[in-house]
Amino acid sequence: MNVRHLEFFVAVAREGHFGRAAAACHVSQPALSMALRRLEAELGTRLVERGTGGTVGLTDAGAALVDRARLVVRGVEDVRSAASALQGRLTATLRLGTVPTAVTAVARLTAPLLREHPGVRVRIHTAPTDVLSAQVLRRELDAALLYGDRPRGGLAYRPLYRERLLFAEAADAPPDPLGETTIDWRAVAEHELCLLVPEMQHRAIVDDALEQAGAVVRPRVETDSFASLLEFVRQGWPTIIGHPWLLAPHGPGALRAREIVGPSLAPTIALATPASGQATPVVRALLTSLAGRDADDLDPSP
């Protein structure tokens, strides 16, 4: 069986589209489609349902076999990486997921790995915590930066830093009439807010804090994009963000932040990897590069 054909099958299942899968595999769409037909012929069953506009879904057989195909593909990649490591030159792609709030930490996290191993590449994927956890467990990702206060089974967690939640508004917004440098959750809820969508863990943490304070909030704007969130703040709708985002392009000089009290929250951002014994060679190299580094070193804005 051609492992490359299995790679195409896994890519199609992940992307749900022939064109995107072909681009991800660096082949033409006709070549990918032909390889899939050969794999289906070899297995004696249809794996995908071809739709309109290049869309594609899995048949019942495809859905039943795709996890096994992923394991084979990752197993082959692991063998190649381990062989390169034995020769003194690790060659691999680190597939790293991250929650949007931790994007600014990725470069600081991976830079030592990239410097030590010239043959390593990094591919970043952004998604909510639950999605990333499932992808690491399915080995679609090697590791992920996510909220680590509620560990999930099958994953190992390495705490990186604590994200301090702040109330952020435009720099030219009217100042607090009493000159307060902090704000409590009830006062936060009195504003017309722009928040992340409820599916994101950051939003769940915010909602829990508001509920504990007995406050109810109906945000004026909800988004899954931090870029749009920051733009809305600049236009006059405040938000609740983690402290690293004060370093974003719209942060310095464009935003004014206050600590939220009652309570002050600082959820943990952790590196989630497969449980002991299942980590890939590139993940082991990443963990080695993290050894001895403290939270201040990993914090995007200590």
pLDDT at 223: 93
pLDDT reading at 280 higher than 70: yes
Strand partners, 195: 222
pLDDT tens digits, one per residue of 176-226? 777 788 999 999 999 999 999 998 889 999 999 888 888 888 899 999 888
pTM of the model: 0.74
Binning pLDDT at 50, 70 and 90, where does residue 291 land? confident
C-alpha atoms less than 13 angstroms from C-alpha of 31 in its C-beta half-sphere: 9
Instruction: Give the pLDDT score at 255.
Output: 84
Residue 31 has which token pair?
Answer: 């070549």
Report pLDDT digits (tens) over 117-160. 998 999 999 888 888 998 898 888 999 999 987 778 889 999 99
Q: Which tens digits make up the pLDDT trace of 73-107?
A: 777 777 776 777 666 678 888 999 999 888 888 98
Domains of the chain with bracketed CATH: 1-88 (1.10.10.10), 165-261 (3.40.190.290)
Q: How far apart are CA 226 and CA 83, in angstroms?
A: 40
Share of the chain above pLDDT 70, in %: 94
Confidence at 14, pLDDT banded by 50, 70, 90: confident
pLDDT band at 44 (very low <50, low <70, confident <90, very high): very high
Structure confidence at residue 276 (pLDDT): 67
CB 58 within 8 A of CB 47: yes
How far apart, in whole angstroms, are the C-alpha atoms of residue 45 and residue 39?
A: 9
Average pLDDT rounded to a whole number, residues 265-272: 91
Kindly state the tokens that stand for 97: 């997921």
pLDDT > 60? residue 64: yes
pLDDT for 248 equals 61
